[in-house]
Structure 1
Amino acid sequence: MRPLTRAIRSFALMTALAVPLAPAAAHAATATHGRLTYTHGTFTASHQRVLAVAGTVNARDTGGYRTYDGRTTRWGVLYRSETLSALPPGGVTAVGRLGLSRVIDLRTPTEIQYDGTDRLPTGVAATPHPVDDTGLYFLMRQVVGSKDPAYQQATLGDGKAEERMRTLYRGFVTSATNRAALGAAVMDIANSTGPVLFHCSAGKDRTGVLADIVLRAVGVPAAVSEQDYLLSSGLRAASDKALRDQLKATGYMQNPDLLIPLQEVRTDYLSAFRDQAVQDYGSFGGFLTDGLGLDALTLARLRAHIVG
């Protein structure tokens, strides 16, 4: 498949805009550890947190976060990443070393059709729990494919892209289908007997929300969980810029910076999800039980599995 065709295809996946364009840029993002600086703050990512998995830039461990009662989330138990559909053989081998008992795929069937199924080690299967993208998949195919600067500006400019993202995040709460998928994913994590990895396309929006749900449910403070969420922007920065540069060079967009709000994670996006959960269910706890259908036993198993 030609690189541009692949770029446009992958570009349309959800709001992920994730495509393995330039190997050098992808390697730089994977190897970036220590202090990461990006638009909305800084966060320290250790070598232990960011996984060295070829074919990924946003694969990481959720261990090492302190809970309200002074305990810590376990390393090597729960991982988050972008899609695993583009892993080279070395990446599959690296995933195999994680000893996964389960992979949870939050992508929609249409995304999987275009992007491909996960490339996983023998004996590891992906469990689908698709979370809807509120039509952004097809919107982005239309916007980028148009090559029309005026249409692109009218669709994404002047805060429209940001509002589409906030709508997406509110939809994680307001959609019964999305709540069922997220609840089932949490149940799978709670009931697993070994390490679990979950992902969407870029590992930032649906994956970020699921990570926020799980971390807060086991007692990690909301502010700490938010920092884990924001880390995606720093890890994805090089590959996201490479995509924008390619779209400009090939004439698909005169102003590819219109895409930045769709490529980044931002505090106000996460707040849209959190605020909607409280608005609809009274509290985060109410969202867990009444919104996601998680009972006390499931939440206790989740904490026992993740917190040391």
Structure 2
Amino acid sequence: MRTQRKLTGAAIATALLIGAGPVLASPAAAAPPAAAAALATAPAPFTAAEAHLAPDGGYTLSWSSPSASVTVTAVTDPTAAGGTVVGTSAGSGSLAVPAGTLPAAERWYFRLTPDSGTPLVIAERSLSITSARNFRDIGGYRTTDGHWVRTGLVYRSNKLSSLTPAEQQKLLSQHLTLDVDLRNASERKEDPDALPPGIRYQVADVVSLSHGIGFHDPALITLAAALAAGLFSGSSDLGQSIGYPFMVNFKGADYAFHDLLTAVATNEGATVYHCSAGKDRTGWSTAVLLTLLGVPRATVEADFLASNTYTGDAKAVELSWLRAAFAEVDHLYGSFDAYLRKGLKLDDTTIASLRAKLLG
């Protein structure tokens, strides 16, 4: 995008938000009794845990825990009580599960059971969907207060217009029941999602003008500040440097992110949300959700940058873009919690429900 072009009114809303790059078209609330009870459970006693799937089909698991020993059980459903024990190791250790050890399955999860305390379920984050390379679980991250974001409940992705029948079955096998599309009308028309029966479809268009053209701060002020920040940071794409703050400043985007987070909180089953490449609108959505859940900023940034690996493009995203959006939150609202409540209009019940549902 030519950032020197004079843009006002509708042109800013459309050109900055839709044309910025190839894709971009706190204190916890008092929880309801059920939510409070869910979060009152002691978090799993692990300070780190990861599962990695090797090209040959084997897994490497690693974890850190004050426990004396940890038993690892493989399950195909993160809520399953049984499973196949694949080994026991030290409280802080690792375990290799060679290819062929487990039968074929759409996805394997691993329950880490310490000799004392609550088990933790982890999984390889990617679902290995060839037509949607950036399709991945947002779970498996530890929060600042020691809880963990549950796996198998929320996924982020790029467009889902080329899913094969086998890939559709994989989504169904993970109990996925809702797909939230963050793309604009033109993108949705050109590449409609290919969903199997049983997955509900919802639009949360980040650049929609259906709620009018409005900004929390004068658009030209945000434009000038974003340009200056992009130039100072050495951004390789000034259009993206501009687009990210506008996802916070543009009032129409507030409705989309409100609808997305409300959908995640209320959906029965697992949810996936996506844009076109799954890195900008989806990247900010994920940063908002993980931050709401209490995931540290460094971890949020690492998840954002992982799009460079999953897309195979080392320059897909830059950290300065995400930081520009967070800076706009601080500028407009003074705190992230105020952004959730005043900008996205999330109420206490929705915030508490998200935390109760997604934290273990």
| TM-based fold match above 0.5 | yes
- SS of alignment partner, residue 269 of structure 2: coil
1:109 corresponds to: 185
Task: Give the Cα separation in 1 of the matches to 2:235 and 2:271.
Answer: 36
Task: Give the Cα separation in 1 of the matches to 2:252 and 2:261.
Answer: 14
Does 2:318 match 1:266?
yes
Deviation at 1:101, TM superposition (A): 2.0
The amino acid of 1:265's aligned partner reads V
Give CA deviations for 1:104-157 in whole Å, capped at 9, x if unaligned.
Answer: 10001111112x2111121112100011299xxxxxxxxxxxxxxxxxxxxxxx
The amino acid of 2:143's aligned partner reads T
Question: Does the CA contact (< 8 Å) of 1:14 and 1:111 recur in 2?
Answer: no
Does 2:352 match 1:287?
no
Task: Give the Cα separation in 2 of the matches to 1:171 and 1:79.
Answer: 24
Task: Give the Cα separation in 1 of the matches to 2:56 and 2:351.
Answer: 34
Deviation at 1:215, TM superposition (A): 0.6
2:301 to 210, 226, 231: 226
Aligned residues: percent identity? 33
2:267 corresponds to: 192
Question: Does the CA contact (< 8 Å) of 2:123 and 2:140 recur in 1?
Answer: no
Q: How does 1:1-308 map to 2 (within 5 A)?
A: 15-16=21-22, 48-114=124-190, 116-132=191-207, 162-237=237-312, 240=313, 264-308=316-360
Task: Give the Cα separation in 2 of the matches to 1:189 and 1:265.
Answer: 25
Question: Does the CA contact (< 8 Å) of 2:129 and 2:135 recur in 1?
Answer: yes
Question: Does the CA contact (< 8 Å) of 1:63 and 1:74 recur in 2?
Answer: yes
CA distance change for structure 1 residues 32 and 290 in 2, over 3 Å: closer, same or farther? farther
Deviation at 1:184, TM superposition (A): 1.1
Task: Give the Cα separation in 1 of the matches to 2:145 and 2:235.
Answer: 41
- SS of alignment partner, residue 101 of structure 1: strand
* Gapped regions of structure 2 (runs ≥ 5): 1-17, 24-53, 61-121, 210-233
Deviation at 1:15, TM superposition (A): 3.6
TM-score by length of 1: 0.68
2:98 corresponds to: none
The amino acid of 1:235's aligned partner reads Y
Task: Give the Cα separation in 1 of the matches to 2:235 and 2:132.
Answer: 29
Structure with the bigger percentage of helix:
1
Tell which structure's C-alpha radius of gyration is larger: 2
The amino acid of 1:185's aligned partner reads L
Question: Does the CA contact (< 8 Å) of 2:333 and 2:339 recur in 1?
Answer: yes
Deviation at 1:56, TM superposition (A): 1.4
CA distance change for structure 1 residues 82 and 133 in 2, over 3 Å: closer, same or farther? farther
- SS of alignment partner, residue 187 of structure 1: helix
The amino acid of 2:157's aligned partner reads S
Task: Give the Cα separation in 1 of the matches to 2:269 and 2:298.
Answer: 27
The amino acid of 2:274's aligned partner reads H
Question: Does the CA contact (< 8 Å) of 2:137 and 2:155 recur in 1?
Answer: yes
Question: Does the CA contact (< 8 Å) of 2:181 and 2:203 recur in 1?
Answer: yes
Task: Give the Cα separation in 1 of the matches to 2:155 and 2:241.
Answer: 25
- SS of alignment partner, residue 237 of structure 2: helix
Structure with the bigger percentage of strand:
2
How many residues were matched structurally? 228
CA distance change for structure 1 residues 130 and 88 in 2, over 3 Å: closer, same or farther? same
Deviation at 1:296, TM superposition (A): 1.4
Deviation at 1:47, TM superposition (A): 6.4
The amino acid of 2:267's aligned partner reads S
Kindly report structure 1 stretches of 4+ aligned residues shifted beyond 4 Å: 30-35
- SS of alignment partner, residue 180 of structure 1: helix
Deviation at 1:288, TM superposition (A): 0.7
Task: Give the Cα separation in 2 of the matches to 1:180 and 1:111.
Answer: 19
RMSD: 2.8
- SS of alignment partner, residue 297 of structure 1: helix
